[in-house]
């Protein structure tokens, strides 16, 4: 199960990095979760890299770093999204 989750984010990250999917689209759906999952899996990813002596889940890590560079509230405002708490693009 963990492997399925990790590779799902790897594939999303690959599509973003290769320009197949716009990063705004991917992050609008997965923004918070990318960070949460990477934080949980990072020690295992690093251990796997050490064992392989090679890259492992590099696109997932890239997607995580893109997500971190765009704080959630600021990112959602930039998309013009609103919510019932008065959250607006102009705030």
Res. 85: pLDDT tops 70? yes
Entry pTM: 0.84
Summarize pLDDT for 25-78 with one digit per residue, the tens: 898 889 889 999 999 999 999 999 999 999 999 999 999 999 999 887 777 778
The pLDDT value given to residue 88: 62
Closest by CA to 11, choosing from 56, 64, 48, 60, is 60
**Three-class SS string for 8-77?**
HHHHHHHHHHCCCCCHHHHHHHHHHHHHHHHHHHHHHHHHHHHHHCCCCCHHHHHHHHHHHCCCHHHHHH
């Amino acid at each position: 199960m963990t492997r399925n989750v990790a590779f799902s984010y790897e594939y999303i990250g690959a599509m973003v990095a290769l320009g197949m999917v716009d990063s705004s689209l991917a992050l609008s759906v997965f923004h918070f979760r990318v960070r949460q999952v990477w934080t949980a899996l990072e020690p295992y990813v690093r251990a796997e890299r050490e064992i392989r002596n090679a890259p492992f889940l590099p696109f997932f890590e890239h997607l995580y770093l893109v997500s971190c560079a765009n704080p959630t509230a600021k990112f959602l405002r930039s998309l013009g999204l609103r919510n019932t708490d008065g959250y607006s693009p102009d705030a």
